[in-house]
Amino acid sequence: MKLTTKISASLLFVLAAATPAMAQNTLSSQLTACVQITGVLQRLACYDRVAHSLGPVPVPRSAPAQRPVAPPVAYAPPIAAAAPPVAAPPIGLGSERLPRTASAAPRRAQELTAGIAGITYDARGRFTVTLDNGQVWRQLEGDTAVLQGARNSTVRISRGALDSYDLNVVGRNASYRVLRLQ
């Protein structure tokens, strides 16, 4: 009788140890079968069946979030030394793409009209125009239109599609894609 008890206990121990390995082998064979399915929806359904056969996964419960308590701040009198002057942030059309300080809020102007103070051309014929308000705009590389004879003209710069800008010479029927440099 004692021998039978020892054998059954040993057999039970072997079966208990083999069960996770057998389950893993079954899971592995199920996933292998799912991988071999060529239809997208059928393969997804196979993965869903395998996942549901594993049973629900318990979701850990988190403790309710506590608000952090800020330490008390001691009052410090202002320092008598003068702070260095801060340059005014650039404003106007295209200014949201220029580097700015953290405190400057973006302004979203829709259109700008100004006179041309100067214009230069690069080796490929693309222009860089300086306006009378100090802004500098450059024609984009992908724009192949040629600007000629606009030295003492007025231009209108407006917002284009996808945060781009279009420059039009007032009185002409041409549009140029530009980027603000200053």
Could you give the C-alpha distances from 52 to 23, 28, 45, 58, in angstroms and in order? 14, 15, 10, 13
How many residues does the structure list for the chain? 182
Averages of pLDDT over each 10 residues, the chain, 182 residues? 50 45 67 86 86 72 65 62 62 69 60 88 89 91 81 84 84 86 86
- Segments making up each domain of the chain, as ranges: 2-54, 107-180
Place of tokens 């800020």: 70
Residue 31 to residue 41: CA distance in whole angstroms: 15
Our measurement of the distance from residue 138's CA atom to the centroid of its chain's CA atoms, rounded to an integer in Å, reads 26
- Rounded to two decimals, the pTM is 0.42
Cβ contact 150:124 at 8 Å: no
